[in-house]
Amino acid sequence: MAGLAYTLMQRFKALALTGTELAKATTATIRSRLLKIGASVIRNTRRIRILLASHHPFREIFLQAAQALAP
């Protein structure tokens, strides 16, 4: 499982974080700064909304990564 998680994080970094300040970050840094954030998740029948705090320092990077992964 740890190997799978590491591979997943490396692919996430290659696909979604290129051109950002976290492009060369370690997996632990990406996890602590980008993925371990407080958010409110609202599920609807047609969409899922993630509401982030407006003062999150990596908000723009998170949105850029989410848009890069969206189809």
Q: Which two tokens stand for residue 16?
A: 């979604």
Number of domains in the chain: 1
What was the pLDDT predicted at 55?
Answer: 81
Residue 4 predicted with pLDDT over 90:
yes
* Angle in degrees, CA 54, 27, 30, rounded to 5: 10
Of 23, 27, 47, 44, the closest CA to residue 36 belongs to: 27
What was the pLDDT predicted at 58?
Answer: 86
Mean residue pLDDT of the chain comes to 88
Q: What is the pLDDT of residues 33-60, one digit of tens each?
A: 888 887 889 999 899 998 877 788 888 8
Residues of the domain holding 62: 2-69
Element (H, E) at 49: strand 48-52
Q: Could you give the C-alpha distances from 16 to 43, 44, 46, 57, in angstroms and in order?
A: 24, 25, 24, 17
What was the pLDDT predicted at 34?
Answer: 84
Q: What angle do helix axes 59-69 and 2-16 make, rounded to 10 degrees?
A: 100
What was the pLDDT predicted at 60?
Answer: 87
